[in-house]
Structure 1
Amino acid sequence: MRGEELQELTLEELQHLERTLDVGLSRVIERKEQQIMERLNGLEQKGMQLLETNKKLREKVEELAEKQAVTDHPENVFNEDAHSSESGSLDCDDTSDTSLKLG
Structure 2
Amino acid sequence: MVRERIMMKKIDNATARQLTFSKRRRGLFKKAEELSVLCNAEIAVVVFSATGKLFEYSSSSRKMREDDIQGLNLEELHKLEKILEVGLSRVLQTKEERIMGEFATLKKEIDQLTEANMQLKKKMALVSQRKHSRVFSQSKDSIAEEGSVNITPPAPPSEATRADTSLKLGPPFSS
Q: Same fold (TM over 0.5)?
A: yes
Query: How much has 1:61 moved relative to structure 2?
Result: 0.1
In structure 1, the partner of 2:79 is 16
Once the two structures are superposed, the pairs formed by residues 64-83 of structure 1 within 5 Å of their partners are 64-74=127-137, 75=139
Question: Which position in structure 1 is the counterpart of 2:96?
Answer: 33
Alignment of 1:55-94 (within 5 A): 55-74=118-137, 75=139
How big is the alpha-carbon RMSD for the aligned residues of Structure 1 and Structure 2? 2.4
**Deviation of residue 45 (structure 1)?**
0.7
Residue 68 of structure 2 aligns to a residue in which SS?
A: coil
Report the TM-score, using the length of structure 1 for normalisation. 0.66
Deviation of 1:72 (Å): 2.7
Return the letter of the residue paired with 1:34. E
Give the ranges of 4+ consecutive aligned residues of structure 1 lying more than 4 Å apart after TM superposition.
Answer: none
Counterpart for residue 92 of structure 1: none
Structure 1 window deviating more from structure 2 (64-73 vs 48-57): it is 64-73
- Of 70, 92, 101, 1:7 maps to 70
Q: Could you tell me the percent identity over the aligned residues?
A: 35
> What is the aligned length?
80
Match of 1:41, as an amino acid?
A: A
Q: Which amino acid aligns with 1:65?
A: S
Deviation at residue 60 of structure 1 after TM alignment: 0.4
Greater relative contact order: 1 or 2 (C-alpha under 8 angstroms, separation 6 or more)? 1
Note the C-alpha offset of 1:43.
1.4
Unaligned runs of 5+ in 1: 78-94, 98-103
| Alignment counterpart, residue 50 of structure 1, candidates 113, 117, 128 | 113
- CA deviation string 1:35-64 (max 9, x = no partner): 111011111111110111011001100111
Report the Cα distance in structure 2 between the residues aligned to 1:12 and 1:63, rounded to whole angstroms: 76
Distance (Å, rounded) in 1 between the aligned partners of 2:95 and 2:115 = 30
Larger radius of gyration: 2
Q: What TM-score comes out, normalization by structure 2 length?
A: 0.41
Q: Secondary structure at the match of 2:104?
A: helix
* Cα distance change on mapping 1:76 and 1:51 into 2, 3 Å: farther
CA distance in 1, matches of 2:67, 2:116: 56
**Residue in 1 aligned with 2:173?**
none
